[in-house]
Structure 1
Amino acid sequence: MSSPANRVVSIGLVDDSPRDRDHLRALLRHYEAENPVTLRISEFSDGAGLLENYQHAYDIVLLDIQMEGIDGMRTAAEIRRMDAGVIIIFVTKTAQYAVTGYSVQALSYLLKPVTSFALGSEMDRGIAELGRRERESILVGPRSAPRRVDIADILYIESRRHQLIVHTTSDDIAFNAALKEYDDLLEPRRFFRSHSSYLVNLRHLVAIDGEDSVMSNGDRVRISRSRKKALLDALTSYIGGRLV
């Protein structure tokens, strides 16, 4: 059982070689055993599988470059169209492909056959980057007196009578604004528009009870019927859907 101090990291592992997937999975499990992390690994045999019904659910994607069908570079380009925040680490047999990774903001690349040391080093870098991003903050509140709030501390944002209420772990901040202003900013950071009036942080969503999201502070946030399935899919992927 994971220690409460363990960090949960969602991994998308994409490689068309079953042998290479097995090898990378074994290295990831070894890394997990040696570090205070819990890895939720979702495996895909090609880029199309990852892209189908893509959710903002992965912290890190390990992506093979040379694959049949949609190759790794095309897959990464499509990911970037939908998700600016996920960390991409390319896996390749040939170092010449690594340079092109800059066009899709890849963190780095691993050269096959991947060693435990190399994967561990890149996982360390990726997790350090995740930690840095989680400390990102945004300005909320009236334009005359904005406040800086850590994104990780936002539970959900509510739209009510032409006002926004930002519910945080410490207090609520109300001001005049439109919820749409925060959609594009927060969706890549694991937020989900569960209702026309609510944008919820998946980190703080602890349960779905009927037509409500139950947040970590006990608040119940309404879910639109038309968005419930998509929310369930996003939450399942975030906590480790299709686990192996």
Structure 2
Amino acid sequence: MNVLIVDDEELARSRLQRFVESEQLGTVIAVASNGVQAIEAVETFLPDVVLMDIQMPTMDGLEAARHLTQLDTPPAIIFCTAYDEFAIEAFNVQAVGYLLKPVRKEELKTAFSRLDKINKAQSLALNKETSRSHISAKTHQGLELVAVENIILFKAEQKYISVIHKNGEVLIDEPLKDLEDEFTEKFIRVHRNSLVRKTAIQGLEKCDDGSFSLRLNCYSESVPISRRHVAQVRKLVKGL
């Protein structure tokens, strides 16, 4: 069984690796120090199991796990965390295995004996409490991460959402309403098919037919505003 260890503390990584190898639970094929590195390592090394901390810089373990559920064959995940049981339940991740630090050998062995792949129910439970720092999209190159701070526009197109960002565009399969709820502090609904980053707005334009559209930074096309959203958008623009 191939194992990936993810923790921003070197001592914690070394301790887990020593336990895994001494108890012959598997082979540690890679280590990582944050969620972004974890996703890259999973795609590169295809581990069966990920032992992952929750609190880490750049991207925490909860968000990394949520992105990993999009893979066709996601690895099993065991969180190794300083959070107690009640905090874990508050994160809605009780369906995913977890161990409290400092991790003990017997507990690790028991967790390995109960391993299971992440399922859809677990996927929905992951990271519901906080918004993501990245959006993940399946591309021909694998799982591509786009930092939310670089996203300009979410645009619904038939069954998919176009995520237009500063470096290009990717497609994701998520409801626009869910994205609106998750990122309501950073994005505003301007049309039934569009969410725009508030800080990307340059100005409001009135079209010849009496309708309105938005000019955005780093995006050459005007974005139409539906009649029902004009007042809300106009209020936001005045406050920018």
TM range (shorter): 0.3 to 0.5
Structure 1 length as normaliser, TM-score?
0.43
Greater helix share, 1 or 2?
1
Structure 2 length as normaliser, TM-score?
0.43
- Higher RCO structure (Cα 8 Å, ≥6 apart): 1
